[in-house]
Amino acid sequence: MTFSELGLDDSILEALSYMGFEKATPIQEQAIPNILEGKDLLACAQTGTGKTAAFILPVLNQLANKDHKKIKALVVCPTRELAMQIEQQIQGFSYFLNVGSIAVYGGGDGKDFVQQRKAIERGTEVIVATPGKLISHLNMGYVDFSEIDYFILDEADRMLDMGFFDDIQTISSHIKNKHQTLLFSATMPPKIRKLSKAILNNPFEISIAISKPAEGVLQAAYLTYDSQKSALIRQLIKEKPTYESIIVFTSTKKKVGDIVRALKGQGYQVQAISSDLQQKEREDALRKFRSKETRVVVATDVLSRGIDIKGINLVINYDVPNDAEDYIHRIGRTARADSTGVALTLINQDDMPKFKKIEDLIESEVMKVPLPKELGEGPEWNPNYRGSRSGGRSNYKGKNSRRIGKKGSGKHSNSKNKSKRK
């Protein structure tokens, strides 16, 4: 279905055509007419489905050709990166419209807060905000939500995981006039059902096949001891000189630092992105990665959800994510739209049961590739592995077992080093 068949305003159609959007994606086909009809929406859809345009286009359509100068739509999302990205998309879609937007998030200096305050007081039509910073502004008393027509929650499951349930209720309680609420979530656990009961009114429901990695991602996995991982990622990156953009994901901030150190000095730019960085540093790092100045980024799951960077060739999971859905998000960073990409996961023994759960979720077995010879043998695949302390290493029979065994029980040993997940 084309966007003009969806009845969107000419100015929006023109912007879409400039952006190279030809056909609506399934979620856009389903969501846009229902939002235009005034319904609340509960949508189960992951990033990469085109969900941002699905909620923003009908909102912009209603705002087109009118002069409001009031806050008409509020988008709340979990991270500042996502807030910035959504706001940038809004700027693109509204290029030929007289609609203003601003991203409201924390982490900047005091000047940012003052600028955000000014924009809020001026009455910018669309606000994209993270919950905490929005509440800081709400508490100051100058936010006028009296004309809000659309309240949109994006990545709602992530926000609840981050402990924002009460904040969302607080924000919702500030919107007193009649409005439409649109809730987007990658998963539908009971807590999302609970939230949707509290804030949605007889919603139209859409579920876009989740839990399936994008087609076009070639997935493979290496069974490794922790002590082999640094050498393995060095080799994987070295072997692929034509890959311009590579992301290495890991679950903790500490490991981000370890991996960056392991990769430094290889003759290409490596950059860490985790919540340890100042906001400005994170923005700089993302900008350089987008512009291909930085070839390799090492990140925690800060980047795995929602961030849209074009042309990533390779995603390496240095460890298996704790949450099976995060695997799909992580590998979804590659092969966006119609392109192809490679996703490689390093699995130690402790992570094998977790990886099996991922395979169950995606309903397919990921190919286990042998380690390069010079790294020695890795562990055997044992999805029922019960932990190193129960003697599970005994199935390791590689000729370098003593050497690797010693290193493996040292500082990189995963089982001893499970610091809190970012």
Burial grade of 241 (CB within 10 A; 0-12, 13-18, 19 or more): exposed
Among 24, 175, 233, 272, binds ligand AMP (CB under 6 A): 24
Minimum gap (Å) between residue 2 Cβ and ligand AMP: 10
CB-nearer residue toward ligand AMP: 49 or 334 = 49
Span of 41-49, 232-240, 295-303, 317-325 interacting with ligand AMP by CB under 6 A: 41-49
Residue 193 tokens read as 């059902």
Q: Does 94 bind ligand AMP (CB under 6 A)?
A: no
284, amino acid identity: D
Beta-bridge partner residues of 225: none
Q: Name the helix (H) or strand (E) containing 121.
A: helix 110-122
How many angstroms separate the CA atoms of 369 and 87, rounded? 41
Which listed residue (6, 12, 21, 316) binds ligand AMP by CB under 6 A? 21
Residue number with CB closer to ligand AMP (25 or 180): 25
Binding mask 299-338 for ligand AMP (x = CB under 6 A): ---------x---------------------------xx-
Which is closer to ligand AMP, CB of 85 or CB of 228? 85
184 versus 318: smaller Cβ distance to ligand AMP? 184
CB of 127 to ligand AMP, least distance (A): 18
Angstrom distance (rounded) from CA 339 to CA 313: 9
Q: How far is the CB of 1 from ligand AMP (least distance, A)?
A: 10
- Say how many residues touch ligand AMP, by CB under 6 A: 15
Which region, judged by CB under 6 A, interacts with ligand AMP, from 19-27, 136-144, 318-326, 351-359? 19-27
Distance, CA of 324 to CA of 362 (rounded, Å): 9
Distance CA 411, CA 370 (A): 24
Stretch in the footprint of ligand AMP (CB under 6 A) among 20-28, 108-116, 280-288, 365-373: 20-28
Q: Within the chain, what is the greatest distance between any pair of CA atoms?
A: 74
Pair type for strands 217-223 and 341-347: parallel
Encoded amino acid at 394, one letter: S
Q: How far is the CB of 334 from ligand AMP (least distance, A)?
A: 13
Q: What's the min distance (Å) between Cβ of 182 and ligand AMP? A: 13
Binding segment for ligand AMP (CB under 6 A), chosen from 21-29, 234-242, 258-266, 295-303, is 21-29
Residues between 246 and 305 that touch ligand AMP (CB under 6 A):
none
Residue 411 half-sphere exposure toward CB, CA atoms < 13 A: 5
By CB under 6 A, what part of segment 45-84 binds ligand AMP?
47-53
- To the nearest whole angstrom, how small is the minimum distance from the Cβ of residue 48 to ligand AMP? 5
| Nearest partner of 46 among 332, 411, 412, judged by Cα | 332
Closest CA to 211 of 41, 78, 126, 327: 327
Question: Residues with Cβ < 8 Å from 415, sequence gap 6 or more?
Answer: 350, 387, 388, 389
Beta carbons within 8 Å of 85's beta carbon, 6+ residues apart: 52, 306, 307, 308
Taking the complex as a whole, how short is the minimal distance between the CB of residue 303 and ligand AMP, in angstroms?
A: 13
> Scanning residues 99 to 138, which ones bind ligand AMP (CB under 6 A)?
none
Query: Would you say 14 or 166 has its CB closer to ligand AMP?
Result: 14
Q: Of 11 and 49, which has the nearer Cβ to ligand AMP?
A: 49
Q: Are 184 and 156 in contact (CB under 8 A)?
A: yes
Give the strand pairing for 367-369 and 246-249.
unpaired
Residues 6+ apart with CB under 8 A from 131: 76, 78, 159, 164, 167, 168, 171
- Least distance (Å) between residue 133 CB and ligand AMP: 22
**Binding site residues, ligand AMP, CB under 6 A:** 21, 23-25, 28, 47-53, 308, 336-337
